[in-house]
């Protein structure tokens, strides 16, 4: 009997574990380890802010995975041993024939002085209720969405947030008393979408009266003001997009590459340790133009499917699946009822090829179905 150990109960880990369980059946064991007892659909955070349902609507107890034949272990991972394909946890050691590391990236507002004290962080689900309360009490003034460091997960999300807030404030009849500004340290708004994609996004923001500033690196935040070094920007309500870092248990392991991220083969997501794979936000995959592969749930899902197929093929003695092709997509919400579709061939040379299908209600509906399909596939509903 083969045993596969999956670390992490987010998009990548749950995707890999459920695909593995289906492929391997009852003759082999799939174990998923996570310190949290619940999976949370990340897209629900912005929806909850503007009244499109609740966070809980996209949350599922990870113990439901047992119904898919997966052994769920709610444990804190203390260290990772890639050579032994195992981990030490707060409840003992676990080892396997194959190891899949899908522990994500952690938002770190503490890396920017004053950001945690004076800004809201909705890249963590725990930050949603406080911002929601402040938005409901907001009666006018300056809202700033500041990308305070790189990398961060879900690259389009700050701009989605701005457009959803625009719609939310118009519904409340106070948009005329509010300004919305997005700032980024990058020279263009959405580097993975290229210059043309970023120009398209800039036009969408401008059409809604949303301001944006590029090339502004947040140095520190104090009450009501962001310090960008040579520039300062006042705010009444700040939504900070914190820099993300790999979890310490990964950064301190033998898997860690530069800055703590896990380097993998871009076609297989296998690490330098045979039988050890890493997927999702915890990895660093460099593209032909030097940019990293986007850290996004859909990419983690697709990577999880590919890695699961590869491990199952090895266990069952089948032909290996084709290499991961770097294709991905996302639905960029532009109001509470519309979205655009962004599709990327990120492994293309000399740079990623990105196509944007414009705003429509159909794309928004597809995003809602995307959520429901995965909750059904992974948890049975």
pLDDT digits (tens, 9 = 90+) for 277-290: 999 999 999 999 99
pLDDT > 90? residue 346: yes
Peptide bond just before 350 cis, omega within 30 deg: yes
d(CA 1, CA 316): 11
Query: In whole numbers, what is the pLDDT of the chain averaged over residues?
Result: 98
Pairwise CA distance, residues 205 & 270, whole Å: 39
pLDDT at position 7 is: 99
Residue 323 scores a pLDDT above 90: yes
Split at pLDDT 50, 70, 90, the class of 381 is confident
pLDDT band at 98 (very low <50, low <70, confident <90, very high): very high
pLDDT at 242 (0 to 100):
99
Q: What are the domain boundaries of the chain?
A: 3-105+246-324, 108-243
SS3 71: strand
pLDDT > 90 in the chain, percent: 99
pLDDT of residue 34: 99
Non-local (6+) Cβ contacts of 210 within 8 A are 162, 163, 166, 180, 181, 182
Residue closest to 101 by CA, chosen among 35, 10, 11, 6:
6
Place of tokens 């159909």: 362
Residue 98 and residue 108 in contact, taking contact as beta carbons nearer than 8 Å: no
pLDDT tens-digit map of 199-241:
999 999 999 999 999 999 999 999 999 999 999 999 999 999 9
State in Å, rounded, how far the first CA of the chain is from the last one: 30
Structural element, H or E, at residue 272: none
* Residue 258: band (very low, low, confident or very high) from pLDDT cuts 50, 70, 90: confident
Per-residue pLDDT tens digits for 140-183: 999 999 999 999 999 999 999 999 999 999 999 999 999 999 99
Instruction: Tell me what pLDDT residue 264 has.
Output: 98
Across 109-136, average pLDDT = 97
CA distances 135 to 11, 49, 116, 332, Å, are: 28, 8, 17, 21
Question: May I ask the CATH class of domain 108-243?
Answer: alpha beta
Interhelix angle for 157-172 vs 194-207, to 10°?
10
Task: Tell me, yes or no, if the two domains 3-105+246-324 and 108-243 fold the same way.
Answer: yes
Whole-number Å distance between alpha carbons of 159 and 153: 13
User: Could you tell me the CATH superfamily of domain 3-105+246-324?
Assistant: FAD/NAD(P)-binding domain (3.50.50.60)
The C-alpha atoms of residue 277 and residue 98 are separated, in whole angstroms, by 8
Report DSSP letters for 237-249, one per residue.
EEEEE--EE--HH
* Element holding 106 (H helix, E strand): strand 106-107
**Dihedral angle of Cα 110, 114, 115, 117, to the nearest 10 degrees:** 90
């Amino acid at each position: 009997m083969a045993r596969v150990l999956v670390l992490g109960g987010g998009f990548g880990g749950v995707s890999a574990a459920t695909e593995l369980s289906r492929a391997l059946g009852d003759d082999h064991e799939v174990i998923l380890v996570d310190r949290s007892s619940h999976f949370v659909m990340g897209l629900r955070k912005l929806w909850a802010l503007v009244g499109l349902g609740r966070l809980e609507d996209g949350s599922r107890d990870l113990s439901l995975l047992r119904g898919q034949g997966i052994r769920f272990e709610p444990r804190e991972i203390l260290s990772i041993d890639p050579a032994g394909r195992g981990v030490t946890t707060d409840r003992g050691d676990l080892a396997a024939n194959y190891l899949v590391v899908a522990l994500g990236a952690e938002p770190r507002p503490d890396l920017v002085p004053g950001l945690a004290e004076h800004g809201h962080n909705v890249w963590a689900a725990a930050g949603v209720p406080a911002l929601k309360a402040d938005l409901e009490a907001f009666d006018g003034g300056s809202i700033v969405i500041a990308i305070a460091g790189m990398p961060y997960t879900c690259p389009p999300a700050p701009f989605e947030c701005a457009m959803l807030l625009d719609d939310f404030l118009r519904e409340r009849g106070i948009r005329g008393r509010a300004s919305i500004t997005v700032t980024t340290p990058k020279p263009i708004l959405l580097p993975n979408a290229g210059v043309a994609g970023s120009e398209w996004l800039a036009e969408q923001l401008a059409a809604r009266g949303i301001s944006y500033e590029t090339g502004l690196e947040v140095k520190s935040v104090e009450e009501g003001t962001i310090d960008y070094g040579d520039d300062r920007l006042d705010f009444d309500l700040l939504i900070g997009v914190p820099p993300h870092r790999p979890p310490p248990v990964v950064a301190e392991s033998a898997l860690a590459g530069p800055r703590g991220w896990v380097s993998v083969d871009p076609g297989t997501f296998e690490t330098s340790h045979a039988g050890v794979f890493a997927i999702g936000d915890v990895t660093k995959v460099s593209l032909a133009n030097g940019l990293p592969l986007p850290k996004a749930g859909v990419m983690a899902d697709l990577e999880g499917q590919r890695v699961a197929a590869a491990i199952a093929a090895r266990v069952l003695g089948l032909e290996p699946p084709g290499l991961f092709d770097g294709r991905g997509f996302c639905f960029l919400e532009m109001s509470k009822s519309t979205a655009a579709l962004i599709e990327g061939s990120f492994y293309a040379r000399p740079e990623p090829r990105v196509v944007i299908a414009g705003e429509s209600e159909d794309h928004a509906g597809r995003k809602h179905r995307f959520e429901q399909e995965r909750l059904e596939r992974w948890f049975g509903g």
